[in-house]
Amino acid sequence: MITRSANVNSVRELLQKMPKPLALVPTMGALHEGHLQLLRAARQKVGPKGTVAISIFVNPIQFDKAADLENYPQPLEKDLALCEEEGVDLAFTPTKESLYHNDHSVLIHENLLTKHLCGATRPGHFDGVLTIVLKLFNILQPDFAIFGKKDFQQLAIIDRMVRDLNLPVTIIGHSTVRDSDGLALSSRNSRLKAHERTDAPRIRRALIAARDIRKTGEQNPQVYLDAARTHLLADAPDSFSIDYLELVDAKTLQPVSKVTKPTFLATACFYGDVRLIDHIGLSD
C-alpha cells in the first residue's frame, strides 16, 4: 500500500524506515503512460526490496505565465490511484507553503545550458526547475532520480547541477514515450481541442522529415531548420505557432554552425496557449 506525505518533516521520518536504495520520480502530476514508464524503470532499478518514491507538486516558480499555472491539470486523487496500481511505495505531495517561505530569496541558476531553447523563451523557468529539484533531492535523499528524455534540456541541466554541486544522486534518463501517432506524451496534451490533438503529430513528422536530410550528408544547419519549419507550418490550423526551432550541439546545447557531430533539432510549438515540445537527434 502506498504511503503518502505532504509534510517535509514527516516524509523524512518515513524515509528512515524505508529500505534503500531509493529511486525518485519527480512529477507535477496529471500522470500519463510516460510517467508510469518512469515509475516502472524506477522499480526495475531498485528491485522489489528497494523504495520507489514519486513527488507530485505543481511548482509555481517554474511557470513564466500565470495562466499556464492556473490551467495546469491537477487530478491528485487519480494520480495517487495510478501510483497505487504501479506499486509505488511513497508519494510526496507537498503544498507550496510547505516548500517555500513567503520571503524565499534563494534560487539555483545555471548560466550555459539554459541560454537557448526553452531557457531563452521562458525566462526564469529553469531557475525554478533546478530549485525545486534540489529541494526534493535534499528532502528525500534519493540514490537515483528518473527523468524523461522528452525534456532533454531539463535533463541536461539537472545532470549538470548534480555534477557541479557534487550531489550524491545518479540521474537516469528514460526514452520519450509517444502515442501511436507519434505525439510525445505530455500532461498538456489533455488541454488540446479535438482538432488540435488530431493535428499535433505534425510536430513529430516535421522533425523526422528534417532529420532524414542527414542521409544526404548535408552540413548546413539552415537546410534542416528550413525543412522543419516548412513542414510545421504547412496547412497548420490558425491556433498553431512556433515558439522556437533550433539546432544545437547534443552536449553543450549551443547552436551549431555545421552539422558534423551529434546534434538535436528541437522545437516548442503552441496550439493557442498550450505549449508542446519535442526534439530529434541528428547523428552520423
From 32, 35, 231, 279, active-site residue: 35
- Respond yes or no: is residue 109 known to be catalytic: no
- Backbone phi, then psi, for 263, in 5-degree steps? -135, 165
> Do residues 62 and 158 touch, judged by C-beta distance below 8 A?
no
Which H, E and C letters describe 215-248, residue by residue? Answer: HHCCCCHHHHHHHHHHHHHCCCCCCEEEEEEEEE
Count the residues in the chain.
284
Owner of C-alpha cell 507537498: 94
> Do residues 58 and 41 touch, judged by C-beta distance below 8 A?
no
User: Which residue type is seen at 127?
Assistant: D
The reply to whether omega before 21 is within 30° of 0 (cis) is yes
Burial state string for 186-216 with b = 16 or more CB within 10 A and e = fewer than 16: bbbbebbeeebbebbbbbbbbbebbbebbee
C-alpha cell at 157: 541541466
Active-site residue numbers?
35
